[in-house]
Every structure is written in structure tokens, then in C-alpha cells.
Amino acid sequence: MRSEGEGSASPAIGICAAVERVSWGVWDSYEVTLVPRSYVRCVQKAGGIAIVLPPDELAVEDPDVLLDRVDALILAGGADIDPSSYGAEPHPETKGTWPDRDRFELALARRAVERDLPVLGICRGMQLLNVALGGTLVQHLPDAMREAHRTVAGTFSKHHIRLDPESLACTAAGVEGFIVWSHHHQGVDQLGEGLKVTGWSAEDDLPEAIELPGRRFALGVIWHPEEDENSKVISALVDAARAEKSNPSGRRDDKSNGVSQIGPSAGGMRQIGPSGGAA
């Protein structure tokens, strides 16, 4: 249990909630907002306070309503992103989308980047960060013979990745190469404006980490650090949030910096080829 002093100094970490239909007890196909407890445990273990953020139309119009209340943002994993968010038609394997969740998280992600609020995208969250900055997605990786990232639906796969040693991703993870827990059938295609790929799958060079240079902490990882008890990635976000909490005057808050203008029709996107670099 945190002491009163410890609690007051703990950074608040907003975790975007999934929207799903679930069944439990006598209830069947009940619509809920939820976050896997592993995210909450990781935030708490690192000394943060976990705050679950369900989709909210008010926050779509004014993300600061929620962002003013947190010191960092986690864009958590979950369902496929609606392809209309990046100007594409749905692939037959793109399923279970929740457009209201997408609108909410895209608004929060764009505004968090504007404000230089620490943000971490995990799996779907990495993909959403890319879309928020004008990028697009490969909707079904097996079409490109990339099978290592979700071998069995509902079971995490393990594979090796490598990180740019000079990157935020490497600093957060604390190691250049390691085995990750993975469960996704989509990936980054065209890279969003300003983003840089800093992690790759050792098996097929698929982008595994993206980040936005020049920001305090704007990172997306396609793997699931919350499922690895030895991972330092979420702890690194909490540390960045703690620094943010102690020095809020250093936060950018410039609505004229052009980030808010980035979207599916924006220019400046780069194609990610088989080598994982810009093609």
C-alpha cells in the first residue's frame, strides 16, 4: 500500500480502455469497457496510479478534458482499427472494429503529441499512433508471408526483435535484442509524419517499434510488455510521467505546430518496405 506522501507524488497514467462484448455469470454478450489487469499491475508496480479511460465523445471534441487529469497516456491493445481512419477499405480479416474507440484514441493521441505528454502505444496502440500521425496499416500480415506475430489466435507468440541502440525504444527496454510476446495480424505500412522505425523483427524485419524524435516520450511497440514481468518499457513511461509531473512548465502546448493537421489525407508519409526501412 502506498503511503499518503507516496500517493500524492505518484504520476497518473491514463490507460485507454477496450470496448468489447463479453459474457460472465448469467450475462451474455454484454457491452463493456475494460483493460487487462496486466496493464494496471505494471503501472502500479512502477509507482504510478492507473486510470482507465473509456471512449468519450466529449473528449473527442476536447481531449484536454481528460489529458489535463493525467501525466502520461497508454494506448492499449485491442481490436483492429477501422480502416476508414486511414482511408482504406476493410480487408476480409479486419474484424471487430469499434469506430467510437478509434475516434476517441486518435483525438487523445494527436493532442498528447501536441502537448508533449508522454505517450506509449502497445500493439494496437502502436498502430493507432501511426494512424494518428497520418500513417496506414497492413491489414493482414499473413498475406505478406509474415506468420510469426500471431501463430495461434488467443495465444501470445514469442519471437526475437532488435532495436536501434540510440533509440528511445532501446533506452526504455534496456536492451538491444530480446524475445518479445506478440499477438497481432496487422502492422505498419506507410509511416506517419515525423515517426521513425527503431525496432524490427529479427525474423522478417517487420517494424516492431516506432517513435517521434524531439518529443520527451512518444513511443509505440507492437509487442506486449505488460505480459512480460521482466520488461522495463511501462516503467520507463511511468518514469517519464514522474518527470513530467515534477516539471509541467516544460511541456509544449502549441496548437499551431501542425500536428493536429495530420490525418489520413496528409502528405509526408513513407512506405515501409520488407527491410523495415523507408522505401
Q: What is the pLDDT of residue 29?
A: 85
Catalytic entry in 123, 159, 211, 227: 123
Q: What is the pLDDT of residue 10?
A: 95
Q: Let me know if residue 256 belongs to a domain.
A: yes
Instruction: Decide if 269 contacts 134 (C-beta within 8 A).
Output: yes
Per-residue three-class SS string for 158-225: EEEEEECCCCHHHHHHCCCEEEEEECCCCEECEECCCCEEEEEECCCCCEEEEECCCCCCEEEECCCH
Q: How far apart are CA 158 and CA 226, in angstroms?
A: 14
- What is the model's pTM? 0.85
Q: Let me know if residue 64 belongs to a domain.
A: yes
Q: Let me know if residue 60 belongs to a domain.
A: yes
For residue 183, give its domain range. 10-18+29-271
Q: How many domains does the chain have?
A: 1
Catalytic entry in 114, 193, 226, 227: 226
Q: How far apart are CA 124 and CA 154, in angstroms?
A: 15
Catalytic entry in 149, 184, 224, 244: 224
Instruction: Decide if 81 contacts 96 (C-beta within 8 A).
Output: no
Residue 117 sits at the vertex; the CA angle it makes with 257 and 210, to the nearest 5 degrees, is 80
Q: What is the pLDDT of residue 276?
A: 33
CATH at 74: 3.40.50.880
What does DSSP assign to residue 152?
Answer: B
Q: What is the pLDDT of residue 38?
A: 96
pLDDT in tens, 139-179: 877 766 555 444 556 566 777 999 999 999 999 999 998 78
Q: How far apart, in Å, are the Cα atoms of 7 and each of 48, 70, 81?
A: 8, 14, 35
Q: How large is the angle between the packed helices 124-132 and 99-115, nearest 10 degrees? A: 70
42 is catalytic: no
Q: Let me know if residue 158 belongs to a domain.
A: yes
Q: Let me know if residue 24 belongs to a domain.
A: no
Q: How far apart are CA 81 and CA 231, in angstroms?
A: 26
Q: Let me know if residue 232 belongs to a domain.
A: yes
Q: Let me know if residue 5 belongs to a domain.
A: no
Q: Let me know if residue 237 belongs to a domain.
A: yes
57 is catalytic: no
Q: What is the pLDDT of residue 24?
A: 81
Q: How far apart are CA 100 and CA 102, in angstroms?
A: 5
Give the residues of the chain that fall short of pLDDT 50.
Answer: 1-5, 148-150, 254-279
Residue 8's CB is within 10 A of a number of other CB atoms, namely: 8
